[in-house]
Amino acid sequence: MRHKNSVLHDLLKHVPWGEFDRLVSEHRADKHVRRLSTKSQFVALLYGQLSGATSLREIVGGLESHAARLYHVGGRTVSR
């Protein structure tokens, strides 16, 4: 069976990650982060927007159901 990327993966390919990382460093956005990095938070919020999630619980549940694929888009599962 042939591999096919998700819509989220295709969309994230257009994000200028070098610029994103530079801005995170410049503004020290990850300075006091314990678990969820700025990049993972961005991926989670973008997933929530694209999936039409109406609550944090829906985003968490959706990301957990796609946990095996999150590695490929640079994200990780989140907890409430």
pLDDT (tens digit per residue) in 6-19: 888 899 999 999 99
pLDDT digits (tens, 9 = 90+) for 17-45: 999 999 999 999 999 988 888 998 998 89
- Residue 79: which region, alpha, beta or left (left: phi > 0; alpha: psi -120 to 50)? beta
CA distance 20 to 32: 18
CB 34 within 8 A of CB 69: no
What is the model's pTM?
Answer: 0.83
Q: Helices (H) and strands (E) in the chain — how many of each?
A: 5, 0
Integer CA distances (angstroms), 7 to 11, 23, 24, 47, 73, in order: 6, 25, 25, 10, 11
pLDDT of 53 = 94
- 37-79 confidence digits (pLDDT tens): 899 899 889 999 999 999 999 998 988 888 877 777 777 777 7
